[in-house]
Amino acid sequence: MRVHVLQHVPFESVGSIEGWLASQGATVGYTRFYESSVLPGTANLDLVIAMGGPMSVNDEASLPWLKSEKQFILEAIQRGRPVVGICLGAQLIASALGARVYPSRCKEIGWFAIEATATAADCFPLPKTLTVFHWHGETFDLPQGATKLASSVACENQAFQVGPNVIGLQFHLETTPESADSIIANCRHELIESAYVQSEAAMREIPAAAYAHINIIMADVLSYVTRPKRDNILSSFSR
């Protein structure tokens, strides 16, 4: 499996995804935009993973590589390659597909519940209710043809799916205690407590089991988008 990771800042790593990639024997390439904006071709990739970051997809004037990154994501989707976007990565998928990305009515930082909204057999089955790790201040409209997978009280569009193998997640299922510590250390200036912004102390009280639970679902998402195409054919006959 040939995987390419789009990483925007050094303190937002792939977290638990690293273990899944190792279990697949994946060959993993990175574009670390804080070091270089060189992107590979998409023809030989089996999976693209776009990670989070504090910038906006609308910052093309100050971060011109965003334009080429969106084009890369769009090309991967058009080629039928599996693509998973997390937080900023989900916003990048939405923007690449022509949807609007804009400031949310409130920031959502910390551990809050999402509610699954899609029940179709051809969509990824998120748990009906799931408490996940958030760190975002922007949101997006659904791209044309997308199915909404999840919502929350603070943010209407929390996850979406386009076709059989493209999923955008506004929240972080890959978060580990170590990766949470990293983002807190680098972004604690954003922790101005409100209804949907937890304190650092509250976030640090979260038990290891909560991380392990969401990490399993992250692995399920990756397995789902990269499942063999014959699975799609078989599932269509089973309905």
Active site residue 60: no
Q: Quick one: which of 6, 51, 45, 10 has its CA closest to 26?
A: 45
**Calpha distance 137→128 (Å, rounded):** 24
Kind of pairing between the strands at 129-140 and 83-86: unpaired
Using DSSP's 3-state secondary structure scheme, residue 146 falls into coil
Is 174 designated active site?
yes
Give the Cβ contact number of residue 148 at 10 Å. 16
- Whether residue 189 lies in the annotated active site: no
CB 33, CB 39: distance < 8 Å: no
Please give the structure tokens belonging to residue 167.
């999923």
Spot the catalytic one: 8, 69, 87, 155: 87
For the chain, counts of helices (H) and of strands (E): 7, 9
Which residues are part of the catalytic machinery? 87, 172, 174
